């Protein structure tokens, strides 16, 4: 029985090996070499690409990427938590409908959604035409970081709401009643019961928003107009246009390491948060 | 134990969920230091009544008074009442100490005072040394004790308990019944206890309130409820019973199946149809059928531990449940006798 089940996993293991482990390994090799990528004999071990990453120009790109991802994650959290609460507290009859309404945008193609934002925000877009119609000054946010943030928040908000909603909807109503029974008003019940119990959802929401946000390249290209290149754009550029696969690979490895570090920090916060809830609550 | 003045007065309380009237116009007084049990089958409105006292449901009609003051507009968190919930509802992200201290911390009680009171509670519920444990790592019985301690530490005037022992196994339940009673006596506060377990109600209560379909059927001491059920529902719900449709030809006589028995009830109209209750343990069996008021044949014998449960079919074809410590063989023809005061006469209600 056990053996059979294991056999079922083989195709997946093979898949993983061919399409994930091998490419990752190649990326690592490219990042640590220089020379013509099409000619194996010309490849030489080199830290050149990593030295390039350390140049101020590129460090700024990485910094900008993390900053924008951080800001959009915070905005998603601030917007998403109340939404998740509202859905979780809604009448069960309408809960799934509400959730679906909220998730419908995800069903549409990511690019389409971003193009839609372009036509709304662009200098001759819907908003500006409406403002012009009213005789008001133009809104000049696109291209720019504000438009990029808007696009990121819009695209990634559902990934914040879903995990928080899942955790909130699992909290036993009787536990909240117990809090008010013991003298806790709404504020106390929220800060000492609901919030600490929802930390795991918040942590996975932050992870699920921060990761795609930090590595995104379409949003910044389309809505930011290349004003603030992000690390994702830079990697795309290296592979598709500059043809510098070594540098692109080095950037990818650096991004991966930084993501792994931030995930490790998040899981630490998750654990601490729960323990602290126990002590402080 | 002394019971004083009324602590809670419930007047014409009604609660509807949609079209269903869950609690229908009930009135009830609960005294200080009283152990009151709301008893009834599931869906009878007992838990809803409790939740209205606790402030978790708003009554549609009627008032609840607490120490003479109207309780209706006061939110749950401002009521000097605490609850032990059915599923305990402990805070899983806190340890035992913090669970119990929760109410005191909200009241901003000084730290050393909190420490003292929590320790005292842990001692009362026999959980000393469990302060640092997380509630998930505790057994059902231990979680139950934490829930009780968490409520009692606030020194409420009233403790509401919603089927608190329902999730425990039989042996633990019996132990906890005794412990709860001890606690109630030692802290001297009013307990309002909800259960569907009639034995639990009989064991623990000063007063039992039997409910069915949102209506109070009978209020009385366990002895009253058991010995003098007011109607067929109460008789049937509390303990085993033989319920017989009879008429009262005159005071102190009941007639059915061509037998006339003496009883002690008066005040019914001549030939009024009534229901009578005879508890299985109140029927005595004699080997000589001619010495019995009712004659019958033993149809089955089941050993129940303390006693044998026998079904005896009378000559008129009626089956009687009889509890005796001595078994009579199946098929034997015997006589049955009932003492007049063991026959409880009730007004005829709706057939069950």
In the prediction, which pLDDT does A2 show? 60
Residue B179 has pLDDT above 90, yes or no: no
Question: What is the CA angle B35-B48-B240, rounded to 5?
Answer: 60
Q: Among A180, A188, A281, whose Cβ lies nearest the Cβ of B93?
A: A281
Task: Find residues 144-183 of chain A whose CB sits inside 8 Å of chain B.
Answer: 172, 174-175, 177-183
Distance (Å) from the C-alpha of residue B146 to the closest C-alpha of chain A?
13
**CB neighbours (10 Å) of residue B352?**
11
Measured between CA atoms, the residue of chain A closest to residue B152 is A182
In the prediction, which pLDDT does A114 show? 87
Averaged pLDDT for residues B17-27: 94
Averaged pLDDT for residues B17-36: 94
Burial annotation B44-69 (CB, 10 A radius, 16+ → b, else e): bbbbbbbbbbbbbbebeebebbbeee
Element (H, E) at B39: strand B35-39
Distance (Å) from the C-alpha of residue B40 to the closest C-alpha of chain A?
22
Mean pLDDT score across all residues of chain B: 91
Measured between CA atoms, the residue of chain B closest to residue A173 is B89
Chain A residue numbers touching B85 (CB-CB < 8 A): 174, 177-178, 181
Chain A residue numbers touching B82 (CB-CB < 8 A): 181-182
Measured between CA atoms, the residue of chain B closest to residue A177 is B56
Chain B residue numbers touching A193 (CB-CB < 8 A): 91
In the prediction, which pLDDT does A280 show? 38
Beta strands B190-195 and B207-212, pairing class: unpaired
Q: Indicate the class that CATH gives domain B240-347.
A: mainly beta
Instruction: Kindly indicate the confidence band of residue A175, based on its pLDDT and cuts at 50, 70 and 90.
Output: very high
Distance (Å) from the C-alpha of residue A182 to the closest C-alpha of chain B?
5
Task: Give pLDDT tens digits for A21-30.
Answer: 999 999 999 8
Task: Find residues 35-74 of chain A whose CB sits inside 8 Å of chain B.
Answer: none
Averaged pLDDT for residues B175-195: 89
Instruction: Kindly indicate the confidence band of residue B3, based on its pLDDT and cuts at 50, 70 and 90.
Output: low
The CATH 2.40.50.140 domain(s) of chain B lie at: 240-347
Please answer yes or no on whether B76 and A181 come within 8 Å at the CB atom: yes
In the prediction, which pLDDT does A277 show? 44
Chain A residue numbers touching B89 (CB-CB < 8 A): 172, 174-175, 177-178
The CATH 3.40.50.300 domain(s) of chain B lie at: 6-232
Chain B residue numbers touching A183 (CB-CB < 8 A): 77-78, 103, 106-107, 154
Domains of chain A are 61-280 (1.10.3720.10)
Asked if A17 has any chain B CB less than 8 Å from its own CB, the reply is no
Chain B residue numbers touching A184 (CB-CB < 8 A): 77, 102, 106
In the prediction, which pLDDT does A1 show? 52
Asked if B134 has any chain A CB less than 8 Å from its own CB, the reply is yes
Please answer yes or no on whether A183 and B86 come within 8 Å at the CB atom: no
- Interface ipTM above 0.90: no
Select the residue from A167, A182, A274 to test the B interface by mutation, using most B Cβ atoms within 10 A: A182
- What six digits make up the tokens of B312? 């005896």
Percent of chain A at pLDDT > 70 equals 95
Residue B45 has pLDDT above 60, yes or no: yes
In the prediction, which pLDDT does B134 show? 93
Task: Give pLDDT tens digits for B216-264.
Answer: 999 999 999 998 898 989 998 988 899 999 999 988 999 999 899 999 9
Residue B1 has pLDDT above 50, yes or no: no
Q: Between the CA of residue A134 and those of A113, A129, A131, A139, what are the distances in Å?
A: 27, 9, 5, 13
Rounded distance, CA B45 to CA B22, Å?
5
Averaged pLDDT for residues B58-64: 95
Maximum Cα–Cα distance across chain B: 78
Chain B residue numbers touching A179 (CB-CB < 8 A): 91, 102
Residue B349 has pLDDT above 70, yes or no: no
Task: Find residues 111-130 of chain A whose CB sits inside 8 Å of chain B.
Answer: none
Asked if A92 has any chain B CB less than 8 Å from its own CB, the reply is no
Please answer yes or no on whether A174 and B86 come within 8 Å at the CB atom: yes
Select the residue from B18, B85, B89 to test the A interface by mutation, using most A Cβ atoms within 10 A: B89
Task: Give pLDDT tens digits for B293-331.
Answer: 999 999 999 999 999 999 999 999 999 999 999 999 999
In the prediction, which pLDDT does A281 show? 34
**Distance in Å from the first CA to the final CA of chain B:** 38
Q: Indicate the class that CATH gives domain B6-232.
A: alpha beta
Please answer yes or no on whether B85 and A177 come within 8 Å at the CB atom: yes
Q: Between the CA of residue B109 and those of B112, B116, B150, what are the distances in Å?
A: 9, 11, 15
In the prediction, which pLDDT does A72 show? 95
- What six digits make up the tokens of A24? 């990752």
Rounded to two decimals, what is the model's pTM? 0.81
Closest CA to B298 of B258, B278, B327: B327
CA A15 to chain centre: 25
């Amino acid at each position: 029985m056990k053996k059979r089940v294991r056999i079922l996993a083989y195709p997946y293991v093979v898949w993983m090996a061919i399409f994930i482990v091998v490419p990752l390994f190649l990326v690592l090799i490219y990042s640590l070499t220089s020379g013509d990528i099409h000619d194996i004999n010309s490849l030489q071990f080199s830290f050149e690409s990593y030295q390039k990453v350390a140049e101020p120009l590129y460090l700024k790109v990485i910094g900008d990427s993390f900053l924008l991802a951080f800001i959009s994650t915070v905005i998603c959290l601030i917007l998403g938590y109340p939404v998740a609460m509202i859905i979780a507290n809604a009448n069960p009859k309408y809960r799934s409908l509400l959730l679906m309404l909220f998730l419908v945008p995800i069903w549409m193609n990511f690019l389409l959604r971003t193009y839609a934002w372009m036509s709304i925000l662009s200098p001759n877009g819907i908003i500006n035409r409406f403002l012009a119609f009213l005789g008001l000054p133009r809104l000049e946010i696109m291209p720019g970081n504000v438009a990029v943030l808007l696009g990121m928040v819009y695209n990634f908000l559902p990934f914040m709401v879903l995990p928080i909603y899942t955790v909130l909807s699992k909290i036993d109503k009787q536990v909240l009643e117990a809090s008010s029974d013991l003298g806790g008003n709404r504020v106390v019940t929220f800060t000492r019961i609901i919030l600490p119990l929802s930390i795991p959802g918040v942590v996975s929401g932050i992870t699920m928003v921060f990761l795609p946000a930090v590595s995104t390249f379409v949003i910044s290209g389309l809505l930011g107009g290349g004003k603030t290149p992000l690390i994702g754009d830079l990697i795309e550029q290296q592979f598709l246009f500059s043809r510098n696969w070594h540098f692109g690979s080095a950037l990818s490895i650096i991004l991966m390491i930084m993501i792994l570090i931030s995930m490790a920090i998040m899981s630490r916060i998750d654990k601490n948060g729960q323990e602290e809830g126990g002590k402080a609550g | 134990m002394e019971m004083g003045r009324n602590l809670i007065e419930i007047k014409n309380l009604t609660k509807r969920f949609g079209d269903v009237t869950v609690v229908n116009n009930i009135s009830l007084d609960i005294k200080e230091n009283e152990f009151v049990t709301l008893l009834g089958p599931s869906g009878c409105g007992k838990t809803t009544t409790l939740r209205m006292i606790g402030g978790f449901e708003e009554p549609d009609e009627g008032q609840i008074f607490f120490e003479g003051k109207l309780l209706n507009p006061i939110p749950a968190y401002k009521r000097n009442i605490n609850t032990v919930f059915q599923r305990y509802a402990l805070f899983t992200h806190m340890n035992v100490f913090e669970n119990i201290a929760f109410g005191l911390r909200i009241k901003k009680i000084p730290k050393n005072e909190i420490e003292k009171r929590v320790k005292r509670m842990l001692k009362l519920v026999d959980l000393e040394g469990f302060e640092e444990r997380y509630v998930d790592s505790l057994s059902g019985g231990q979680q139950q004790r934490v829930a009780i301690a968490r409520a009692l530490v606030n020194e409420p005037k009233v403790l509401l308990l919603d089927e608190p022992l329902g999730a425990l196994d039989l042996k633990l339940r019996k132990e906890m019944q005794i412990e709860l009673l001890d606690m109630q006596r030692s802290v001297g506060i009013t307990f309002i206890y909800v259960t569907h377990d009639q034995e639990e109600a009989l064991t623990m209560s000063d007063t039992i309130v039997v409910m069915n379909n949102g209506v109070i059927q009978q209020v009385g001491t366990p002895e009253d409820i058991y010995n003098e059920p007011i109607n067929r529902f109460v008789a049937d719900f509390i303990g085993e019973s033989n319920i017989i449709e009879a008429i009262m030809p005159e005071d102190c006589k009941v007639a059915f199946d061509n037998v006339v028995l003496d009883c002690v009830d008066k005040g019914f109209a001549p030939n009024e149809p009534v229901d009578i209750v005879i508890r299985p343990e109140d029927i005595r069996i004699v080997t000589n059928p001619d010495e019995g008021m009712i004659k019958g044949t033993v149809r089955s014998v089941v050993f129940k531990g303390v006693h044998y449960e026998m079904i005896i079919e009378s000559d008129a074809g009626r089956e009687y449940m009889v509890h005796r410590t001595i078994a009579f063989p199946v098929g034997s023809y015997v006589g049955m006798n009932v003492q007049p005061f063991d026959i409880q006469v009730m007004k005829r209600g709706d057939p069950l």
